[in-house]
Amino acid sequence: MSLAPLLLRASASNPLPKLSPEKPSSTKAAKPKKAKSLPTLVAVKPLNLEAEKKKFFDSGGTYNPQFVYPAAIDSKVLHQYGEPSSRYLAQALKIIRTSLSLFGTFTNWERCSGGHIMTKHEVTTHISKYLKAEGIEDEIQVNITHNILARASMTRVKGKPTINVKEGTTHSNWIEGMLNHEIGTHYLRAYNNKKQPWRSGKRRRQLKLLSSNPTEEGFASLNTVMFREQPLLLRSSLMYVVIFLASKMSFCQVYEKLKQYIDDPEERWKHLLRAKRGLTDTSKPGCFSKDQIYLTGALQILARRHEINFEHLFRFGKVSHRDLEKLEEIAAQEGTRVPKFLSDKNDYLNRLNYVIQFNGLTDEDLKEGAKH
């Protein structure tokens, strides 16, 4: 693989700083002094995105975008989810190789596995059915929009939980997994968290609870793919590699490297933009490290799947899987919810086992990542 030299250097005597598994909540959350009023994902979205994208493609991929933001961004914001890491780089590359061996190209994977792109009406109809099945149709509003970088996200609009879906990006075979991610995991765990005695930051600190990430996003990532016919962790693996490369290289250099994994120029741009957002001068090494937590959290959960009580992982709210046992005696369970897809716990565990197998991984691969 062309990444072998980087992989070897990352594991040598002077390794890349490692992404901490999950750290106790600090007394004061790290916030950028000049942009603290902006949500992080809003603060790191470039204002001149379309103009810089045109310059990049007009240059034939030789121009490093120069992004402008609503306010100055503190370096702590870029790495608030941890430092960029090589910890699971070998596992990420193994998943990518497995995926491409099955589908040939990234584009073919999306077309064959994902199904057709759904219309706005199809998306809203499917979401309505999902919400009704979960008994929460009156709790969440739907916003189909072009104004987000991700394909979907959960936010609050005027105090009401809202699922935002980027128009023209939802695949028919994957929409259920997207809803398991955003609603079945993020929304229900947030709902359950409000029932818990540790719902306040002060109480979390008193209990010395770990950060909810990478468990939160890793759990959501598994619930995204595990009910698919081909439950590949390809997208989270690609983003893991992209973040690692972006921390070492310029925008143009990473774009060139990604050609071996992502055949579509537009998709390469999208993946790289997520890694380089938050930077002004993308000719310099650096990244917004958030997207590594998806694969990190997923592999950590898979490694401990026989030890984790997955019902508690839902009912206890926004907590790390490593804190479940210490919270059992004080956790509130009355009035909490679990999603429909957890109704058969044996089936759920069997599907986790299949995720490992289908991605070309072994328990040894998972243990190896945990050693670093």
- Which candidate in 22, 110, 182, 216 is catalytic? 182
Q: Which two tokens stand for residue 165?
A: 């879906």
CA angle 8/10/13 to nearest 5° reads 90
Tell me the DSSP string of 257-289.
Answer: HGGGT---HHHHHHHHHHHHTT-SBTTSS---G
Residue 319 phi/psi, 5-degree rounding, is -130, 160
Tell me the DSSP string of 346-358.
Answer: HHHHHHHHHHHHH
Nearest C-alpha neighbor of 320 from the set 230, 139, 312: 312
Instruction: Report the alpha-carbon distance of residue 39 to residue 70 in Å, rounded.
Output: 11
Is 182 known to be catalytic? yes
Under DSSP, the state recorded for 33 is T
Strands 160-166 and 152-157: antiparallel
Distance of CA 343 to the CA centre of its chain: 24
Nearest C-alpha neighbor of 84 from the set 152, 30, 6, 1: 6
Residue keyed to tokens 């590594």: 292
Residues 6+ apart with CB under 8 A from 91: 237, 295, 299, 361, 365, 366, 368, 369
Distance of CA 159 to the CA centre of its chain: 24
Tell me the DSSP string of 123-188.
Answer: HHHHHHHHHHHHT-TTT-EEEEES--SSSEEEEEETTEEEEEEETT--BTTTHHHHHIIIIIIIIH
Nearest C-alpha neighbor of 302 from the set 241, 243, 365, 247: 365
Instruction: Report the alpha-carbon distance of residue 63 to residue 163 in Å, rounded.
Output: 35
Active site residues: 182
